[in-house]
Amino acid sequence: MNPADATTARRPASSVLPAQHRPAGVRIAGSGSHLPEGRLTNADFVKFLDTSDEWIVQRTGIRERRMCDADKGENARWMGGNALRKALADARLDASELDMLIFGTVTGETLCPATACRVAAEVGAVGAGAFDLAAACSGFVYGLNLGHELIRSGAYRRVGVVGCDHMSSIIDYSDRGVAILFGDGAGAVVLTPTDDLSKGILAQSMHADGSGWHDLYLPHHIRDFPAGQPGTPEKVHKLQMNGREVFKFAVRTFGDLIEQTLTKAGLQADQVDHYVCHQSNARILEASRERFGLPAERLHVNIDHYGNTSAGSVPLVFDELRRAGRIRDGDIVLFVAFGGGLTWASSLWRV
Ligand code: ACO
């Protein structure tokens, strides 16, 4: 038997809809998240870095982050797979019903195979399409936009979108300007079609500016360092960041992205029920909140206990809100993220 036939044989023929049955509405049918038990507090950093709880809290808003125990097999595949299982359970779907898995990460164990392929196999989504999406912290929002369009086009019915990063695997814990910011975590959603045409994306955007790549990058070789900034073997495979430049880019981009997305949808800032933003730094979030005059309960901040979990941060916030019963049917939710690339993206939903 041809291997392609074997794979196709595992999928129900109905997984691709005939054109006349194309749904126009898309719903977020379930969400889930997963965090490792291990914690790294500001007090822990003070033991081995020249830093203080006061400096970290004032500059970033972070008090603690979660950290995988790699020796116990905790990694992006483990966190992302568990988050997806919970999202499937929440959506009351069996993994075998998934048609596609989009896995936003820059910290998978291998480039080939994609982490998505192994996660799909491990959760039981055998034969579903599966790929990794490398847009750093914007990975989940890019994935959400793509997953939505796959369903809206009628080509796919049930799409899992995971945002997940094992940041502790790429952090140099002697670099105090970077180490204190990041934590490990994963979140996931399952998207399905609905006859309710009012549900789904109202406006979205995805952007990149590769000319700013050297402000946030992960070198794999000495030759990957930018001209004029010679690398060292210790810095290879460790996240390199120009914090000041990223901060300026983020404050400007975040506000503009929100404004442009609202304009596209013809909405005012106060018509959005929830701003689910990438948790990069509490000061960056606060700048956006002030610019749009939003009450604190609409722009959610959980960076204090998770740090910046890169692609994991947006779905972690969303799942926290959903589990707390704060996302109601018909709410308007704006997802926004920015990250390495440089990339930035938004996704404005009626859920
Ligand atoms: N503890 C104490 N002092 C520190 C620490 C620390 N952990 N880190 C840096 N400093 C020192 C610096 O060495 C510097 O000292 P100097 O003035 O003697 O040179 C001083 O503090 C100020 O440093 P800055 O880098 O200017 O501090 P800043 O106020 O910009 O805060 C921070 C640094 C928190 C990294 C900030 O720039 C930031 O949040 N940037 C955005 C980072 C970000 O969002 N990254 C991820 C985005 S994308 C993604 O999520 C993958």
The verdict on whether 308 is a catalytic residue reads yes
The verdict on whether 278 is a catalytic residue reads yes
Pocket test for ligand 1, best of 41, 247, 306 (most atoms within 8 A of CB): 247
Pocket test for ligand 1, best of 40, 49, 281 (most atoms within 8 A of CB): 281
For the cut 90, the answer to whether the pLDDT of residue 229 exceeds it is no
Q: How far apart are CA 318 and CA 116, in angstroms?
A: 21
Q: What pLDDT does 2 receive?
A: 46
Taking CB atoms and a 6 Å cutoff, what residues make up the pocket around ligand 1?
Answer: 51, 55-56, 59-60, 136-137, 176-177, 180-181, 216, 241, 243-244, 246-247, 250, 280-281, 308, 310, 339-340
Contacts of 265 (CB under 8 A, 6+ apart): 202, 203, 348
On the question of a common fold for 19-194 and 200-350, the answer reads yes
Q: Count of alpha carbons within 13 Å of 319, Cβ hemisphere only?
A: 28
The verdict on whether 220 is a catalytic residue reads no
Architecture of domain 19-194: 3-Layer(aba) Sandwich (3.40)
What class is the 200-350 domain? alpha beta
Q: What pLDDT does 86 receive?
A: 98
Which residue has the CA at smallest separation from atom 35 of ligand 1? 243
Please tell me the distance between residue 318's alpha carbon and the centre of ligand 1 in angstroms: 27
**294-330 pLDDT tens trace:** 999 999 999 999 999 999 999 999 999 999 999 999 9
- What are the residue boundaries of the structural domains of the chain, listed by start? 19-194, 200-350
* Residue range 58-70: mean pLDDT, rounded: 97
Which value, in Å, is the radius of gyration of the alpha carbons in the chain?
A: 20
Q: How far apart are CA 200 and CA 89, in angstroms?
A: 21
Please tell me the distance between residue 283's alpha carbon and the centre of ligand 1 in angstroms: 12
**84-102 pLDDT tens trace:** 999 999 999 999 999 999 9
